[in-house]
């Protein structure tokens, strides 16, 4: 538990099935990439340790969800690796710039490394999403590739990755 500079308590914990409706609501408010209930549920069932929510004074205000993949390193493109994939992260607008996403992501990276034994982590982000790209740079990610037309509206994605 962390007390922020406004005296609010921020707690990061594993999500439970009861959190999914609220997580879906946050996803819909914050991002154009929305998923079905069964997608969220399948990620929670398969990778529960890195499906995290952030609570501020008891309300869930953000989430991160990840999965584990086996594939070619995004960094050296030479070796096969266990890769953590950050599928989605979001924080409600009223709770931004108080370190919530940093807490969620830092904890997820720690668990991907220590419990899911991943040696690398990657994600896709819209090339126009300056706040998220800044967050990822701050946490040590680098841009490794541009995926042309990755999003449904045609926008390109940066693939960003870092070692764990």
Cβ closer to ligand ACO: 79 or 102?
102
Could you give the angle at which helices 37-46 and 20-30 cross, rounded to 10 degrees?
120
Q: Per CB under 6 A, does 101 bind ligand ACO?
A: yes
Q: How far is the CB of 30 from ligand ACO (least distance, A)?
A: 4
Q: How far is the CB of 119 from ligand ACO (least distance, A)?
A: 19
For 57, left (φ over 0), alpha (ψ -120 to 50), or beta? Answer: left
**81 contacts: CB under 8 Å, gap ≥ 6:** 70, 71, 72, 73, 118, 119, 120
- Within residues 123-152, the interface with ligand ACO by CB under 6 A covers 123, 125, 129-132, 134-135, 138
Q: How far is the CB of 94 from ligand ACO (least distance, A)?
A: 10
CA distances, 157 to each of 34, 43, 106, 126 (Å)? 16, 22, 22, 5
Q: How far is the CB of 131 from ligand ACO (least distance, A)?
A: 3
Instruction: Please give the residue ranges that form the binding site for ligand ACO (CB under 6 A).
Output: 30-31, 86, 88-91, 96-102, 123, 125, 129-132, 134-135, 138
């Amino acid at each position: 538990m962390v007390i922020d500079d406004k005296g609010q308590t921020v707690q990061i914990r594993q999500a439970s099935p009861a959190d999914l409706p609220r997580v879906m609501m946050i996803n819909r408010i914050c991002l154009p990439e929305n998923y079905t209930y069964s997608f969220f549920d399948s990620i929670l069932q398969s990778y529960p340790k890195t499906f995290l929510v952030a609570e501020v004074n008891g309300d869930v205000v953000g989430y991160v969800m990840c999965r584990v993949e086996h594939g070619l390193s995004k960094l050296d493109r030479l070796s096969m690796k266990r890769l953590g994939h950050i599928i989605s992260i979001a924080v409600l607008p009223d709770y931004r710039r108080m370190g919530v996403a940093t807490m969620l992501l830092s904890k997820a990276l720690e668990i991907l490394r220590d419990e899911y034994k991943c040696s690398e982590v990657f994600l896709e982000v819209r090339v126009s999403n300056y706040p998220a790209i800044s967050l990822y740079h701050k946490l040590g990610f680098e841009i490794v590739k541009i995926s042309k037309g990755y999003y449904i509206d045609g926008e390109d994605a940066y693939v960003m990755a870092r070692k764990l």
